[in-house]
Amino acid sequence: MTGKREGELTTGDALQQWREAERAVAVARRGKLAAAAAVAAAEEASEAANATADAAKAALRAATLAETSAGKTASAAKMFVQASLADAADAASDTAMAEVAEAAAQSRYRGAVARAARQRDEPQKG
């Protein structure tokens, strides 16, 4: 008996899939952390831009240009926050999918190990 049936993964193949899934999870988690840092920076930028806009309103004629610029900066920061939130959601989704794939690969590996053990322990039929 060869120990491998058609359509079944070998222990080595299952282990390799598990390791690849673990690497994917690690990459996704790093992406999630980077996206979270970007969200925090974008929120701070948005608050700073809004404070600049408020200060510009109190200034005289020269402040009109500063207010317009600050408003544009706030708008850009808001778009950046929205994009960063979308990135964070994508990263969370990627992490969840990678974790599911990793769990499936781990389950396949454990199944392959169990099959290998059963085949080893079965008496030779011949």
Predicted confidence at residue 58, as pLDDT, reads 67
Domain boundaries, the chain: 12-115
Q: Which helix (H) or strand (E) holds 11?
A: helix 11-57
Q: What is the pTM of this model?
A: 0.47
Q: What is the DSSP letter of 7?
A: T
- pLDDT tens profile 9-19: 999 999 999 99
Q: Which residue has the higher pLDDT, 110 or 5?
A: 110
CA pair distance 98, 122, nearest whole angstrom = 36
So what's the pLDDT on residue 65? 78
Separation of alpha carbons 2 and 77, rounded Å: 62
Q: Per-residue pLDDT tens for 76-121?
A: 989 888 989 888 899 899 999 999 999 999 999 999 999 999 998 8
How do residues 24-61 score in pLDDT, each as one tens digit?
A: 999 989 999 898 988 899 889 898 988 887 776 666 66
